[in-house]
Structure 1
Amino acid sequence: MQSKHLRFGKGFRPAFTVRKVQAAEMVLAPGACEGGPDNAHRGTDQWLFVVSGTGLAIVDGARRRLRAGSLLVIERGERHEIRNTGRTPLRTLNVYAPPAYDAEGEPLPAGRPPRASRKG
């Protein structure tokens, strides 16, 4: 079993990886965005759950409003951008299957597992 208390500080941080699934926390300041028209995960699906705040997801041109409790699935290869449209930080929990980032938050090549998992 692995366990970790997520702080949802600033930016993007992988929490830990277990076999073929990875969890990460992301915090976007008001007005900030992550991703863009050319951003896509070639080899992984991303499940994004909004913990708090409001925002906008643009996935392959389709727009979806985000708010606390929203769950969005971005399938592998879909171009996407996440924007904070509110006045408070947008805090999300992201699950990647298979893992998309190494322990420092750098993207992994498609189909490559991270070297070591982080235990909390």
Structure 2
Amino acid sequence: MNTTPEHDERIAKMTFASVYPHYVTKVEKKNRTIAELHQVITWLTGYDEKKLKELIAEKVTFEKFFQHAALNPNAHLIKGLICGYRIEEIQTPLTQQVRYLDKLVDELAKGRKMEKILREA
């Protein structure tokens, strides 16, 4: 599935700091914790809590956020629909990576077990 260049550019220039509070609100509304949110983000990106705080303070774009991330080798196992797009069919790597994160946050908020979210055997 192809996204438009405009869509991809908008995602690339969006700051992680602008979206992060929405992730927090979403998971806390469903009685999940910020620690669990950070665990999911760390699993996907390799960033620890200290680095996450730095990236939020620096207001890095998603482009820069994922440029320096050590993407989990099992990230390709994240599948399904998010924002009307089938994740595994998104052609633009950065857009796909952002949608991976969105999907993980959704799964956390929906009460899915952590071992399922983190694609553990």
Shorter-normalised TM range:
under 0.3
User: Which is helix-richer, 1 or 2?
Assistant: 2
Q: TM-score, normalised by structure 1?
A: 0.28
